[in-house]
Structure 1
Amino acid sequence: MKYLYSIVFIFLLHYTTFSQTLGVGTPESQGMSTQRLQRIDKAVNDYIDKSYLSGVVVLVARNGKIVYHKGLGYDDIETKKAMDKDAVFRIASQTKAITSVAVMMLYEEGKFLLDDPISKYIPSFRNPTVLDKFNPKDSSYTTVPAKREITIRDLLTHTSGISYAGIGTREAIAIYAKNNIPGGVDTPFYTLEDAINRLAKLPLIHNPGEKFTYGLNTDVLGYFVEVMSGMSFDAFLQERIFKPIGMKDTYFYLPESKFSRLAGLYTEDKNKKVMKVTGDYGNYSKKKGTYFSGGGGLVSTVTDYAMFLQMLLNGGKYNGQQLLSPVIINMMIHNQIGDIKLGNKKFGLGFALTTEAEAARLTPSEGTFDWGGAYSTAYWADPKEGIIGMIMTQKIPNSYADIGEKFKVMVYQAITKLN
């Protein structure tokens, strides 16, 4: 309860003070040090020089002003093409926050309640089952009835029991593969209606509400937005979120005129040194795709995503338009999973949340919300200190993702005056 009241106070106190749209300011004008921010350059360039990473884009904003925004290293390590700070990145699971906002916009319109069963709107989810016994030899299984239906809140908090294709539990990976369920990233040639209705018939890994299991929940929510709005999910995001905010470089599938801005994709060799991905892997955003993955399908830039995060810090307002009420955003950035374990963090409606314990471990304030993407992108927004931080590269897998936490430390050590 102490956590709830303290974050309510911080959010309501600070959101009215931020600039309505992102501008550019000096670090000193926002209580930060230019000299100290330059430590980021040295740390990131050290990873690039050691061939841990190829190129990186970093952005720091405070109180509505961008105080640091740079492209470091190379977009192409072979031709030495520099990393452009306006490069387009595969943001993968950073898509989830945007989908969650879309859901909550419809919630504001009185179209549903968070504790409604999803089967009320997508009937194929009626009478869910839970995996009982699994045979790894042929991926056959038995089930038992779930104790209750999946709710929309369960989907927003990854407590439904739905797992992930490709990266989920051993059983789910096998069952989803056998049933041709797309993971949402690099799976352009499906449709939400078909894939989600087939997923709905497969067993849950556990009963709804029992624990946190990262899964295809947000893809289900993308289809839910289509059902509730009568629009394609892609069109809904463009009309209701991207255009009002001014996010001109955020898409599921890029227009051909922007293909050249898509950042190069990298992986690791046997020595964990960076190397280019070969073949067509990662080029899904250049297809004429039909699958709009709410969990991982978008590409974007750090500037576009910073505007989205600033809208949230503004209490739902950006460019003179109120996309969400500050009351609804306040709900989204509060613990929605009770005592369910998630390390030092909790989970709201679409974001991980920094608790008192996590704030004692690392620099972001209690109440900060964050997430990241599989291709090595990450963001956070700190309502108390008015900080937006983003670090984006394109590498999968990435043995040196600790640069993300080091980046957080270097952002906060540059603060010279607390909000």
Structure 2
Amino acid sequence: MTLADPTSLGFDSARLERIGAFLDAEYVASGRLPGVDVLVARDGKAVYRHTSGLARADGMAMATDGIFRIASMTKPLTAVAFMMLVEEGKVALDDPVTKVVPEFAKLGVYTGGGGEMDFFPAKPAPAMRMVDLLTHMSGLTYGLQNRTNVDAAYRKGRLDGHASLPGNDHFLAELAKLPLEFEPGQGWNYSVSSDVLGAIVARLSGMSLREFFATRIFGPLGMVDTGFHCPADKAHRLTDAWAYREGEAPLLFDPAAKSSTLREPRFESGGGGLLSTTADYHRFCQMLVNGGGVDGARIISPKTLQLMTANHLPGGADLTQISRSLFSEAHNAGAGFGLGFGVTIDPARALVPGSAGEFYWGGIFSTAFMVDPVEKLHMVFMTQLYPSFVYPIRRQLKTLIYSALTTSRA
């Protein structure tokens, strides 16, 4: 990948170099992260790239074409896929979810108690709308939230988008047996909502989610290495995945040579199933920073993207006021939520440099991306450490990137 001249795009080259120096000293050399790959761009042009550390425990160096488990960075792609169908008139944001998922016709809302995993006192739930799925205000949850009996039932049923699930129909039918955490629209909870959206995209389009992504997004954008599994001819590029251990070196828990990601999944998780590369996600971000299209490939319209990246939380709230989640990929202060993206609504409350209107998300393996439509810049960060909330690396990267910016367009 050819890098543009940073100075011509309003960056200080020496300050950009702080990024790699910081990552190497604080994370790679210290053993906190096995390896890193970060890309910074403005006006869609890459101006900085730093790749260091190990891709695998056997000593294989991190490479610029490494393939990573991007987990919840799948969610924005699923949201874009859904909104493409909205643009085509096949569905509307205020449609009831039951229009496509009749299995949800008799959902209840959890009212507490219930000593058995399969018994939940519940009251009838108001209709869930498509927009509730996009904003994580559906009342659905994740087993990893680990707070209530409902969360426990998700874990028991492996309903967190697990690749071994038999498929969309089974997933939706099993979800329909469980109550919601709260009435749709009455709270925010990081959840399997995006997995439900992925199933809806498949039903509406008549394609599998894999086929929709490949033909409607990946192909047009030239995202040649993104998919729901790592094919055999690319297996040598797949990175290991590690787990954080307090006070100890990270634990290798999914070695690339034996990874389940080498096999096609039974369930294509719209909430967390994709693998990708820095270069491919850079292409996705180029499309986003350019208002929905790049190099002649129009994915969505600028106005649709503006709608997606507005804060949809009630009353303009941030996540500190409305989130019920034990875990999400957002730092809640100053953060709203749009249609598939976290959105910065107040950098002062966030206590990190940035722009109001910036949008972003991350994955449980500590990957991250952000797009600033004001400054026309974006960042893609790849590594493979589970979980993503042990280090403040995303906030540190933002600080380093914005400190290197010499020309603001605000």
TM exceeding 0.5: yes
Q: Deviations over 1:18-70 (max 9, x none)?
A: xxxx9731111211121111111111111211111110111100111101112
Q: What's the CA shift for 1:296? A: 0.2
| Corresponding residue number in structure 1 for 2:307 | 331
| Corresponding residue number in structure 2 for 1:62 | 42
Report whether the alignment pairs 1:321 with 2:297. yes
Report whether the alignment pairs 1:373 with 2:373. no
1:221 paired residue among 180, 194, 197: 197
The alignment's C-alpha RMSD in Å is 2.0
| Corresponding residue number in structure 1 for 2:69 | 90
Task: State whether residues 318 and 345 of structure 2, in contact with CA within 8 Å, keep that contact through their aligned partners in structure 1.
Answer: no
Task: State whether residues 368 and 394 of structure 2, in contact with CA within 8 Å, keep that contact through their aligned partners in structure 1.
Answer: yes
Report whether the alignment pairs 1:356 with 2:356. no
| Corresponding residue number in structure 2 for 1:177 | 155
| Corresponding residue number in structure 2 for 1:196 | 172
Q: Deviations over 1:236-271 (max 9, x none)?
A: 010000000000010001211111111111123441
Q: What's the CA shift for 1:357? A: 4.4
1:261 paired residue among 233, 237, 248: 237
- For 2:55, the aligned partner's letter is D
Report whether the alignment pairs 1:347 with 2:337. yes
Report whether the alignment pairs 1:304 with 2:280. yes
Report whether the alignment pairs 1:151 with 2:141. no
Classify the secondary structure of the residue corresponding to 1:93: helix
Classify the secondary structure of the residue corresponding to 1:349: coil
- For 1:405, the aligned partner's letter is R
Whole-angstrom CA distance in 2 between matches of 1:376 and 1:168: 20
Report whether the alignment pairs 1:37 with 2:16. yes
How does 1:384-395 map onto structure 2 within 5 Å?
384-395=374-385
| Corresponding residue number in structure 1 for 2:322 | none
Whole-angstrom CA distance in 1 between matches of 2:254 and 2:2: 38
Classify the secondary structure of the residue corresponding to 1:126: helix
Report whether the alignment pairs 1:405 with 2:395. yes
Classify the secondary structure of the residue corresponding to 1:75: coil
Q: What's the CA shift for 1:359? A: 6.6
Worse overlay, 119-128 or 374-383:
119-128
Worse overlay, 128-137 or 235-244:
128-137
TM normalised by structure 2 equals 0.91
Worse overlay, 121-130 or 336-345:
336-345
- For 1:72, the aligned partner's letter is S
Task: State whether residues 333 and 349 of structure 1, in contact with CA within 8 Å, keep that contact through their aligned partners in structure 2.
Answer: yes
- Runs of 5+ unmatched residues, structure 1: 1-21
| Corresponding residue number in structure 1 for 2:220 | 244
| Corresponding residue number in structure 1 for 2:90 | 111
| Corresponding residue number in structure 2 for 1:17 | none
Whole-angstrom CA distance in 1 between matches of 2:349 and 2:248: 31
Classify the secondary structure of the residue corresponding to 2:264: coil
Worse overlay, 260-269 or 220-229:
260-269
CA shift in 2, pair 1:175/1:276, >3 Å: closer
Q: What's the CA shift for 1:197? A: 2.4
| Corresponding residue number in structure 2 for 1:3 | none
| Corresponding residue number in structure 1 for 2:327 | none
Q: Deviations over 1:182-213 (max 9, x none)?
A: 3125x235211211222123200000000101
CA shift in 2, pair 1:174/1:284, >3 Å: same
Report whether the alignment pairs 1:162 with 2:132. no
Q: What's the CA shift for 1:138? A: 4.6
| Corresponding residue number in structure 1 for 2:33 | 53
Whole-angstrom CA distance in 2 between matches of 1:267 and 1:133: 33
Worse overlay, 237-246 or 336-345:
336-345
CA shift in 2, pair 1:25/1:87, >3 Å: same
Report whether the alignment pairs 1:415 with 2:405. yes
Q: What's the CA shift for 1:398? A: 5.3
Whole-angstrom CA distance in 1 between matches of 2:301 and 2:84: 9
- For 1:307, the aligned partner's letter is R
Worse overlay, 245-254 or 315-324:
315-324
Q: Deviations over 1:308-364 (max 9, x none)?
A: 111011111123021111110110010112235403211000001001245761112
Q: What's the CA shift for 1:140? A: 2.5
Q: What's the CA shift for 1:71? A: 1.1
| Corresponding residue number in structure 2 for 1:211 | 187
| Corresponding residue number in structure 1 for 2:111 | 132
Whole-angstrom CA distance in 1 between matches of 2:284 and 2:349: 24
Whole-angstrom CA distance in 1 between matches of 2:348 and 2:356: 7
